[in-house]
Amino acid sequence: MNHLEKLLQDLGFTQYEAQTLATLIRYKMLSAREIHKYSGVPQPKIYETMIKLQQKGFIDIYPKKKKKVYLVKPKEVIQEYFLNYSRKVQDLGQKSIEIIDEIYDTEEAEEIPFIGIAGESALQEYIHMLIDTAKETIIAFLPLDHYDEKIISILHKRKNDIDIKLIFHDKNIGDLEKQLIGIEKYFLKVPAFDIIKNILENIEDFLPSVSEQKEPYSFQIIKEIAIHLENIFGLMIIDWKKSFFKIPIPIPLPMAILSMLPQLTDFHNRGIKKILESSIKF
């Protein structure tokens, strides 16, 4: 999968839509057979996919003899679509921040169990927003790839206003150690993820024998989780009243739950305290 295809899928495009649009942006005009050849989209799925892309305003369809050819819209048209999308998401994000701010300390907040978030870009925007609007405390145990320039900038902006504790899987965090000077950093005393990974990768050794049978699908899922666990799992506690939990299941679209439900946040609070107790300060 190329970078553009991944971005398109993060933005809600289906796999076939992302593959087809990325291919047409590269080649400009193709037949169905050529799209299949260059994108890998199954030929029976191409017509259905092209109709959806036409409805979204990305392509035009022209007859050519007894066949059809598919022409991508000009670059400016495609870019304008994503600019408008970005403005819309930014506006929705700002409205969400304002609404959360209004209800945060009210009784109504307890009636909102959770907000589901999907897509790497959306997850990152919520992390930025949560750190930027925290009132007292941030404790984060997140994969390294979440620490982009923006989050580092926000952390430095807030470090004198709120109590910030960042927990990492181990001490090898590269340049981040220097970039996060002045912010409390911790790492796990034991390689917990390595231990968990080893157990999950060899899960069949801990369960009843399944000899002479095909490996159960559940084992395959568990092993897939083991491979990607460090990059998937994440937990952040905000003011001890909210929790941001990355769902540790390997699916194409990363997901998280932002919860204000007392029972769930209490559970996550206990979990992050245990992680902190099992950590060493840098």
Domains and CATH numbers, the chain: 3-77 (1.10.10.10), 89-98+109-281 (3.30.870.10)
pLDDT at 230: 57
Residue-by-residue pLDDT tens, the chain, 282 positions: 578 888 888 888 888 898 898 898 888 888 888 989 898 989 888 888 888 888 888 888 888 777 888 888 988 888 888 888 788 777 777 777 766 666 655 544 444 567 888 887 888 888 998 999 899 999 998 888 888 889 999 999 999 999 999 988 888 888 888 898 999 998 888 765 555 555 555 555 555 554 445 555 455 555 555 555 556 778 889 999 888 888 766 656 777 888 888 888 888 888 888 888 888 888
pLDDT at 112: 53
pLDDT at 83: 84
pLDDT at 109: 44
Q: If 0-12 CB within 10 Å is exposed, 13-18 middle and 19+ buried, where does residue 64 land?
A: exposed
pLDDT at 223: 55
Task: Give, rounded to a whole angstrom, the gap between the first and last alpha carbons of the chain.
Answer: 37
pLDDT at 108: 47
Q: What is d(CA 122, CA 139) in angstroms, rounded to the nearest whole number?
A: 20
Closest to 93 in 3D by CA, of 135, 118, 122, 116: 122
pLDDT at 170: 81
Q: What is d(CA 11, CA 22) in angstroms, rounded to the nearest whole number?
A: 13
pTM above 0.85, yes or no: no
Q: Tell me how long the chain is.
A: 282
Strand order in the sheet with 29-31: 29-31, 67-72, 59-64
Q: What is d(CA 109, CA 7) in angstroms, rounded to the nearest whole number?
A: 33
Angle 146-269-145 (CA atoms, 0-180°, nearest 5)? 10
